[in-house]
Amino acid sequence: MSTTESATPAAAESANDSGMAAKNPAKRRRSLLLVAAVFILAGLIWWLLWLFVFSNRVKTDNAYVGGNQVAISAQVPGTVVAILADNTQRVLAGQVLVKLDRTDAGIRLQQARSALARAVRGITQQESAALAADAQVTVSQLALDKAQADLKRRLPLLAAKAESSETVQHLRDGVAQAQAALAAARAQAAAAHAAIAGTDVAKNPAVLEARANFRAAWVAAQRDAIYAPVSGYVAERSVQLGNSVQPGQHLMTVVPLHHLWVDANFKEGQLRHIRIGQPARVVSDLYGGDVVYHGTVVGISAGTGSVFSLLPAQNATGNWIKVVQRVSVRIALNDKDLDKHPLRVGLSTEVTVDIRDDKGPKLSPVPVHAPVAETDVYDQMAAKADSEAAQIIRANLPHAVQ
């Protein structure tokens, strides 16, 4: 009884071991198949992502916001008496930023104003002198006619010996003198008309010269007030009250934040399918992924960054290690996006360019004739100078001429 009981548990244990050995390979195969399926599925998903997503775009985080940095400098020498804008403040085109002492410029402007008035009055005087010379020609012509008539009347009397030859000779001398006086009067009239012929007072060369001098003095006086050529925000203010500034000296910078772009530095291999006109998606570190800027590729730099560096690389000398170069691609941003979410020059961004349509040009096909940036602030200044010069000319003309 005891032998049977001891053999039964051993047989049961042996049967259990053989059953587990039979189940483990099947379980292992299922686990391996599951793992293989997971890897295959992951590979398929990755292949599909590459085919429909990653292969249709290029991406870089080596991209920074760029913009115009308009340097404000003095155009005439002077001493600073007022500063009307400071860092971070917004200014409008035509707004006064800095004022200089205008004492010297005011004196020069008054001298130019007086010179223009004298030029107008001088030309008016020359016109009057020309009229007087014309009148003198008429007088001389009448005197000659009278002398000739007197001589003509006395000649028959001389033939009849009723008049002395001495008297007739005096008459002949009078005719010669009248002829010489007429010639002199005509020469004086021609000289008087030569200075004013062909133009009116306002277009006379002397008046035009005085007007140009007045215009230069007026503009120089206005440049004692330094204007903002564009609208934007002030940065890098270095000017202080009492500074004696010289033409070209940097005073501050105005940055127009309404029109910005992104310079994205792509690797050489990423440029293969980048074309002008392709859409781009820009995300700034300032706002994160919640704010997306819509941009367009507008140009590709003509060289790599190393070429335009202060000390370009000399790969033909010494040991050489290949370094993957980057080329700057300019992305124009939508102004409406910038109005909603303002950016700053120099901020870091992440740029993704959609390269599905790679049929466009790699370089700009035609030259651009439109100005990159322009301002009419100084044109308005010159127009005001011309207007004031015209008023001075009218004020110094005779009432009859006006």
Residue where the block lists tokens 């005439």: 76
CATH of the domain at 306: 2.40.30.170
d(CA 233, CA 91): 6
Tell me if 320 is assigned to some domain: yes
Question: Are residue 267 and residue 361 in the same domain, yes or no?
Answer: yes
Whether the Cβ atoms of residue 192 and residue 133 lie closer than 8 Å to each other = yes
Tell me if 92 is assigned to some domain: no
Considering the entire predicted model, what is its pTM? 0.68
Tell me if 68 is assigned to some domain: no
Give the closest residue to 301 by CA, choosing from 270, 263, 349, 356: 263
Length of the chain: 402
Question: Are residue 279 and residue 357 in the same domain, yes or no?
Answer: yes
Question: Are residue 179 and residue 265 in the same domain, yes or no?
Answer: no
Domain that holds residue 310: 260-365
Q: Look at the chain and report how many structural domains it folds into.
A: 2
CB burial readout 94-122, b (16+ within 10 A) else e: beebbbbebebbeebbeebbebbbebbeb
Tell me if 223 is assigned to some domain: no
pLDDT of residue 289: 87
pLDDT of residue 23: 58
Question: Are residue 120 and residue 193 in the same domain, yes or no?
Answer: yes
Tell me if 337 is assigned to some domain: yes
Tell me if 168 is assigned to some domain: yes
Question: Are residue 355 and residue 268 in the same domain, yes or no?
Answer: yes
Question: Are residue 269 and residue 196 in the same domain, yes or no?
Answer: no
d(CA 139, CA 256): 73
**Strand pairing partners for 34?**
none
Tell me if 328 is assigned to some domain: yes
Residue where the block lists tokens 């009849």: 160
Q: What is the pLDDT along the chain (402 residues), one digit of tens a residue?
A: 444 454 455 555 555 555 555 557 778 888 888 888 888 888 888 877 766 666 678 999 999 999 999 999 999 899 999 999 999 999 999 899 999 998 888 899 999 989 988 888 877 777 676 677 678 778 878 877 777 776 676 566 656 555 566 666 776 777 788 778 778 878 877 776 676 666 677 777 888 888 899 988 988 888 899 999 999 999 999 999 999 999 999 999 999 998 899 999 999 989 988 999 999 999 999 998 889 999 999 999 988 888 888 887 777 777 778 888 899 999 999 989 999 999 999 999 999 999 888 888 888 887 877 888 888 877 777 778 888 888 888 888 876 444
**Strand pairing partners for 348?**
64
CB burial readout 335-373, b (16+ within 10 A) else e: eebbeeeebebebebbbbbebeeeeeeeeeeeeeeeeee
Tell me if 270 is assigned to some domain: yes
d(CA 84, CA 227): 10
